[in-house]
Every structure is written in structure tokens, then in C-alpha cells.
Amino acid sequence: MEDLIQIVREAGNIILEADLNHDFNQTDLTDDNPMITSKEGRANFVTKYDLKVQYFLFDQIKKLYPDAKFIGEEDDKHPSSMDGRCFIIDPIDGTSNFIFDNKFSAISVAMMEDGEVTAGIVYNPYLDELFYAKKGEKAYLNQRVLQVKPLPLKDSLAAFGTSPYEEKLADQSFEIARKLLNHVVDIRRCGSAALDICYVAANRYSFFFELQLSPWDFAAASLILQEAGGKITTFDKKELFYEAKTSIVAANPVAYQEFYQFI
């Protein structure tokens, strides 16, 4: 774990040192040109820094685990199965925040063993906040043990994601968020699902949902939240599956129950 954490911290420096003087309309990702290109769907970007962080992580982690497989957000060649040891990596979760210098993005690294998440690291380099957990052990934020409190919705903040890349999900997301607003102190939409889920683990939010996320957005954070005593499922209360996109609900157990009473 210490070695993995060290690698992720080093990768954080690539994000902190990024030169954001870019031309938004460029599409070529060479070193001296352009830094942004659009992926499929709306509001779905990749920068040269996403690629740089991803390949730094792949290379360094391969030195620790030469036989491991890798699934990275910016990598098209995903392995056909997750048997054995497999890392699911989002080099920059919160890429839109990164592009617009919002300083709310994270590196997310999940280690899977035979399809189960056994270690998770989510690192926000801007605040130097490192969330991590090992399966069956405690979850931490830096040195501090994380323990989810049974905060009711009415005494807490909730957060959601708008799935901006899938326009059809936007109306549904805002409808749910509008209902949720009646039950909480206020709502946040911060733009990094990995951090949002870790914020539930840290009791900064009691509740988070997003109607479509990819495994690299939630794999590491899901273990961190579970080891802190929180709940994370699909929107229809199913156990998480790490091989496809899915909806996500992450909450403390009390807020989770309350949500399904009015939704």
C-alpha cells in the first residue's frame, strides 16, 4: 500500500504542474500543441495530462506487479477479463474541473483481485488529501481513520452528478436532485464522482447519486466508503458490478434509507 500511495502522490505532481494555457479548440495531443480533445458524447474531454498521468501510473505500478492487468479510462485496450490482479485507473477524475482550473479533481486507483476491489486510493493533489482503504481494514483520509456517522439528510449536505455526457439523463438527475433538496441543508455538484463518494466517507456529505458512471469513476472510492461503514449500490439498490457503466447511490446508512422513502 505504501508503494502504491507513493506512486499516486508522485502522479499528483503532474496535475499540479500542468500548464493550463491551452487552446480549447485544438484536437491534436502532441507535447507542444494542443491539450484538449473531445471524446464521444457531450462534455467529454481528454487532455494530454490525463494520458501522461495514466501512463505514469501504468509504468510505475507494473514495476510493483509485473503480471497485473490494467483498465484505464484513457486506454482503449481493456483486458477481456478481470481474473487475477487488475488495476482500474482514472488518471484524472474531474477532467472538466481540471481544464477550467477548478481544483477539484482526483487520481483514482483501484486494485481488483478476481473481480473484487481489494485496495482503493483516491488522491486530490490540490488539497493533498489522500483517501485510501484496504479490503477488511479501515479507511483513511491521510492519517485519520474514516468512520461514517448516521447523519440524517436534514442535518447534512448532499451531492449529485449530472451525467453531462448523456443529455437524456439530465432531466431525470435534476428531478431527483430537486426532490432531494427538500430534505437536506443544501445540494452540491462538484464534478468528481470519486471525490464525492469519498466525501460521503468523510461525513462531508450524507448522500451522493449519479445516474451514469464508469467503473474507474467509482471503483476505488466504493471500497473506501464501504470500509468507512457507508453504503454504495446502484440506483435500484443492486450490488456494484465493476465491468460496465452503472448508476451509483452512495450514502450513510440512515440517509440511504431516508432517500428511498420519498423518491
Which residues of this protein are in contact with ligand 2AM, per CB under 6 A? Answer: 41, 44, 73, 90, 93-95, 161-162, 164-165, 191-193, 210, 212-214, 217, 245
3-state secondary structure of 2: helix
CA 91 to chain centroid, in Å, comes to: 10
* Residue 44 interacting partner from Ca ion, ligand 2AM, none (CB closer than 5 to 8 Å by kind): ligand 2AM
Q: Minimum distance from CB of 194 to ligand 2AM (Å)?
A: 6
- In the bound state with ligand 2AM, the residue whose beta carbon lies nearer, of 61 and 190, is 190
Report in angstroms how near the CB of residue 220 gets to ligand 2AM at its nearest. 12
Per partner kind, with CB cut-offs from 5 to 8 A, the member of ligand 2AM, Ca ion, none near residue 165 is: ligand 2AM
The answer to whether the CB of 22 falls within 8 A of the CB of 76 is no
Distance CA 188, CA 226 (A): 22
Q: Which does 191 bind (CB under 5 to 8 A by kind): Ca ion, ligand 2AM, none?
A: ligand 2AM
- Looking at residue 156, the DSSP 8-state letter turns out to be S
> Is 100 or 262 the residue whose CB approaches ligand 2AM more closely?
100
Measured from the CB atom, is 92 or 200 closer to Ca ion?
Answer: 92
β-strand pairing of 157-160 with 186-188:
parallel
Partner from Ca ion, ligand 2AM, none contacting 250, C-beta within 5 to 8 A by type: none
β strands within the chain, DSSP E: 36-38, 45-47, 69-72, 85-93, 106-113, 116-124, 129-134, 139-141, 144-146, 157-160, 186-188, 207-213, 231-233, 246-251
